[in-house]
Structure 1
């Protein structure tokens, strides 16, 4: 405990980290209820000043909040902390993280309450932000097992607790369930939580006054993702790689039901935007939900994008491919919008860049396999790839962003496309996301790949306000870029992405 207390910075600096977390970072998952945390935070500091005993679990949670917040500070906040504390902010974050791990190991299972579950969850969140996905999955497992020790998975009506405590435990369990199925999807790992039992969803009414009953709670998006997981996990083989395109019908039906159930502020078509300016989390969570839904719809059809379907291919297979392309374009649109509203502060937020990259790489494979140049929506695919590589250029300062941008650029360099198509790929981007000028039309207004009515406009005229050459127009179709991908050091990125899934070994540009 003494080591942890020495590491926590003086209160003015801790206040900066805590307030940034509560006002910004927390809205990604809303794992902490701000009024309760703020009260406990004040009590903790008062006890520290008076020399009173401090609980290990809240001290751990405070360190976790500082560690997570430090990774995504505004430039001015980061500069202030680095200059006045005399240490690089990344180093500070890592030291907070390691101190919390050491202190957390002293807390027996089932003894730290909800606070312990929260700080264990923030461990998983910190690892994921640092692109340490396997470590994040193991940390998530620890948080889930701690929650199970406390009975969060059981019928709360049978437990003698207050209604507020019941709501808090339901919220935390809901977040863990949503993370469980999505991390399993990402890493092709087994589900940790037994989904035979239904999840009690929170009531979501703590934050909203009666006069704004339609305003989504900041935790609503996690409850909705939890519910989607419950719906799709009933489909046999859903989390396995063996899910066939024919089984996709069940997946599409469930996701469509889920889309139809979204609150008005999160609707796919003509969403209620009255809170977009006053409650900025609504915009981010809307795009996040749309991306998650299309990610699930695309999953069983991914293999349809890496196949060469000639004119004689069965109509069923062509139909699956057409659907896959439609879902992929919609997924890229939602991901572009999501990334746009996360920048510049949350450049490390892996979800949007990875979805953009993963989907764009599949569409590159679809173009390469399109020997007859008859791929549905080929022009829009080309345009979407141009937007995507430039969006990823905005996050090249991060580990995930740098790898995604490098690989996608090489894939695009090797595409067998016409001169006109290559001109469509020649978009521009701004490299500066830490200063004043990082904005693209995608981050200002959302990607133009889709209108709000779900249709595809022509996006050939999109340009960013800062023109820096991407220098793709001079390339002839060649697989040299694709061959070079094998030389890229993927690091931990190979935990979530496999080049072999694109089926590019055959590619000979002379045949295209």
Structure 2
């Protein structure tokens, strides 16, 4: 029986062998016959790349397909099964702990090498790859990128020193070279060696974009004309460009696998937190800081356990690399502690899990392959990171302050011995500052050197954080203890004076540093609150100096408002507070004069002579801070307080380690101006809290942005 024509056509049809990998064959894509092939590599699905016939591996000269033995097929299947387990991603294991299941699997040495579980992506792999390529195209052209990188290291990096210039530039050059090669730096989750390097290169753009955003925030005017060409309309709208680059960096970092953390990702989220802080978006900054801390812990930066670099080879470069990572962790710890003190939020880092030692106090060379790390001697000038190391020491004091305040909240009959002891500890730390960063009589001979260009500004930043810590220590007792009010006013004046010197040590494009805005507004508000509510608890000399400092701070915020919108709003609020403080001062002067006339001439002279206050701008521990006894101050009875206000008090203030809470500030701003002609019985004065002072002001999350701003 003859076969039908259809049957004969089927027999004549040539059975073509499938030479593509199974994934490219299923997706109907052209395969380059590599193992893994280019398409699977681009989709981060290298573990799924399999062949019915054995292909030529990358770098091999053989191109003819050969059959795969059952053993090879079994091995490939085993690898796919192990890879599909996705141990680190789905189960949540952390490597390098020594006892977890993923560490045991890595020690088994499965399939000719250490086992690295590969993540299994969902069906949206191709869309994710397209999004990756789309975000990469937002990076500015290379000449503009190199200019922004130069601006970042020259004008921005000195504040935290979180990015090493030499390592970054080396990675940047390698990234540009790989972009023009046959193996572009796309997301890859290969095994150790080249796979980890490719992963670092594929995630490098997140740091590059965020650095461009920060550089545009502090772009000097001499670069305006050149950088304006990046804008389609040629306008100098660098804030919009900065927002676009920062958001693109976050989108790209979120797109990548969260359990494939790299140092670039940690640095990107930290710079994102800094960028948000300068934008006045403090709550978002705190969350970005948390993301950076979690990814740093994923890398093991908090642990002293040694990590492997360059395939496990121990050399000079690996020692410096560990120092770079320690500096990143130091910045994260300092931010976590100071933001916790100011925002009143829980800390994100548990000291019980931190075993890493502090980094060495030395300058890191651009070429980290030659000389090993050696700490500076006491006679050497401060290094670029000395100021941050001292902040790191102060950050550990915040733990003791929190413990003391939590203990005091439980014990209503609180003694202030612990508070005075902590202040003495802070003063002891101040005395150990190196001469180039000293609080008083600072050695200025090293200012302007090749490695100390911003030493003057760093000294003021350190001074500001030091006295802000003293303010935070006494802040819970601002309305219950006279000695604390005096210390707050003294330290607040020092902060305001330091901010003025910091403004003089920086240029206009540095005015976006939020330290200049927040730590001008915050101590001024707290000092004004004390003057408005308890003016008689301060001597007239101290009160006059405090008012002068607040006025100077208000003028400074007006100047900053030319570049920072939030500073303009803060200047408006300070002007209202100054009017109220001046009225309160006038009322207190009337009461002082009335009391002087009612006293005998001898008693009056003794009272005002004991209230004499000599202000020292240096505020050295041996002068103003050490002289914390309130016996030499004018103590007049004020409503709600007794003359023995330095002793125990039955009512402990609510725990709030921020300098001034939102509720208290709103009450102060809502209070009517005191009438100097209206006084109460005797020497007591009462400030009534009402409404009407905030009418007409903008309310676009101003309090949230202005009051809850992270530091440093």
Q: TM-score range by the shorter chain?
A: 0.7 to 0.9
Distance 1:140 1:38 in 2: 25
2:421 to 250, 257, 270: 250
Does structure 2 conserve the Cα–Cα contact (< 8 Å) formed by 1:56 and 1:107? Answer: no
Call closer, same or farther: CA 1:40–1:344 in 2, change over 3 Å: same
SS in 2 for 1:30: coil
Q: 1:242 offset after TM fit, Å?
A: 7.0
For residue 74 of structure 1, the aligned residue among 220, 225, 246 is: 220
Do the aligned residues in 2 keep the contact of 1:7 with 1:96 (CA within 8 Å)? Answer: yes
Q: Tell me, what secondary structure is at the counterpart of 1:230?
A: helix
Q: CA deviation at 1:204?
A: 2.7
Structure 1 residues 300, 235: closer, same or farther in 2, change over 3 A? closer
The 5-angstrom pairing of residues 468-483 of structure 1 reads 483=692
Kept in 2: contact 1:188–1:240 (CA 8 A): no
- Contact 2:439–2:618 at 8 Å: present in 1 too? no
SS in structure 2 of the partner of residue 105 of structure 1: helix
Query: In the alignment, is the contact (CA less than 8 A) between 2:280 and 2:706 conserved in 1?
Result: no
Deviation at 1:493, TM superposition (A): 4.1
Assess if the C-alpha contact under 8 Å between 1:264 and 1:272 holds in 2.
yes
Distance (Å, rounded) in 2 between the aligned partners of 1:280 and 1:241: 44
Give the stretch that moved more between structures: 33-42 or 412-421. 412-421
**Structure 2 residue aligned with 1:229:** 395
- Structure 1 residues 236, 6: closer, same or farther in 2, change over 3 A? closer
Deviation at 1:37, TM superposition (A): 0.9
Matched with 1:494 is 703
Q: Does 1:363 align with 2:489?
A: no
Q: Secondary structure at the match of 2:400?
A: coil
Residues of 1 paired with 2:690 and 2:226: CA distance? 42
Q: Are positions 1:383 and 2:542 aligned together?
A: no
The change in CA–CA distance for 1:2 and 1:421 in structure 2 (over 3 A counts) is farther
The gaps in structure 1 that reach 5 residues or longer are 308-316, 423-447, 457-475, 500-512
Deviations 1:125-172 (A, max 9, x none): 111111110101101101100010111111144766621221111111
How many aligned residue pairs are there? 446
The residue aligned with 1:425 is none
Distance change >3 Å, CA 236–CA 186, structure 1 → 2: closer
Q: How big is each residue's C-alpha offset from its partner over 1:202-247, in whole Å with a ceiling of 9 and x where there is no partner?
A: 1132437989852222222222212211233134536769777824
The secondary structure found in structure 1 opposite 2:557 is helix
TM-score, normalised by the number of residues in structure 1? 0.79
Between the aligned partners of 1:69 and 1:406, the Cα distance in structure 2 is 29
Unpaired runs of at least 5, structure 2: 1-131, 186-200, 366-370, 590-614, 625-672, 676-687
Per-residue deviation, 1:419? 7.8
2:508 match: secondary structure: coil
Partners of 1:395 and 1:402 within 8 A in 2: yes
> CA separation of 1:242/1:188 partners in 2, compared to 1, >3 Å: closer, same or farther?
farther
How many Å separate the matches in 1 of 2:136 and 2:706? 40
In the alignment, does 2:496 pair up with 1:332?
yes
Calculate the aligned-residue CA RMSD, in Å. Answer: 3.2
1:202 aligns with 2:359: yes
The structural deviation recorded for 1:273 is 1.4
Deviates more, 1:261-270 or 1:129-138: 261-270
Q: Does 1:93 align with 2:242?
A: yes
| Pair 418,204 (structure 1): closer, same or farther in 2 beyond 3 Å | closer
- Partner of 1:7, secondary structure, is coil
In 2 relative to 1, CA 390–245 (structure 1 residues): closer, same or farther, beyond 3 Å? farther
> 2:361–2:376: 8 Å Cα contact kept in structure 1?
no
Query: Any conservation in 2 of the 1:332–1:355 contact (CA below 8 Å)?
Result: yes
Pick one of 353, 357, 370 that aligns with 2:517.
353
Deviation at 1:323, TM superposition (A): 2.1
Matched-pair contact (CA < 8 Å) for 1:291–1:334: yes
Q: Structure 1 pair 256/189, CA: closer, same or farther in 2 (3 Å)?
A: same
* Alignment of 1:166 onto 2:322: yes
Task: Tell me if the contact between 2:280 and 2:705 (Cα under 8 Å) persists in the aligned partners.
Answer: no
What residue number does 2:184 align with? 53
Equivalent position SS for 2:137 = helix
Q: Indicate yes or no: 2:171 matched with 1:40.
A: yes
Q: Secondary structure at the match of 1:164?
A: helix
The answer to whether the 8 Å contact 1:382/1:421 transfers is: no
Distance in 2 separating the partners of 1:241 and 1:9: 54
For the pair 1:153 / 2:302, whether they are aligned, the reply is yes
TM-superposition CA deviations, 1:418-439 (whole Å, max 9, x none): 68999xxxxxxxxxxxxxxxxx
248-257 or 135-144: which moved more? 248-257
How far 1:304 moved relative to its partner?
A: 4.9
In terms of mean alpha carbon deviation, does 389-398 or 483-492 score higher? 483-492
Q: Which of 151, 159, 177 is the equivalent residue of 1:20?
A: 151
Partner in structure 2 of residue 509 of structure 1: none
- The CA deviation at 1:482 is 8.3
| CA drift at 1:270 | 1.5
Counterparts of 1:278-293 in structure 2 under 5 Å? 278=449, 279-293=452-466
Contact kept? 1:133, 1:492, Cα under 8 Å: no
Offset at residue 71 of structure 1 (A) = 0.9
Residues 401, 102 of structure 1: CA spacing in aligned structure 2 closer, same or farther, 3 A cutoff? Answer: same
Aligned residue for 2:568, secondary structure, equals helix
Whether contact under 8 Å (1:245, 1:301) holds in the other structure is no
Indicate if the aligned counterparts of 1:184 and 1:239 stay in contact, CA closer than 8 A: no
Cα deviation for residue 102 of structure 1 reads 1.6
Residue in structure 2 matched with residue 65 of structure 1 by the alignment: 211
Q: Distance in 2 between matches of 1:71 and 1:363?
A: 31
- Worse overlay, 410-419 or 127-136: 410-419
Q: Is the 8 A contact 1:195 1:233 kept in 2?
A: no
2:571 paired residue among 389, 402, 405: 405
How big is the shift at 1:321? 2.4
- CA distance in 1 between counterparts of 2:430 and 2:133 reads 50
1:318 matched residue in structure 2:
482
Choose which of 678, 694, 710 in structure 2 pairs with 1:485.
Answer: 694
Q: Structure 1 residues 144, 238: CA separation in 2 closer, same or farther (over 3 Å shift)?
A: farther
**Greater Rg over alpha carbons, structure:** 2
Output aligned runs, 1:447-462, within 5 Å: 450-451=617-618
Q: Distance in 1 between matches of 2:357 and 2:375?
A: 26
Q: Which stretch shows the higher mean deviation, 341-350 or 283-292? A: 341-350
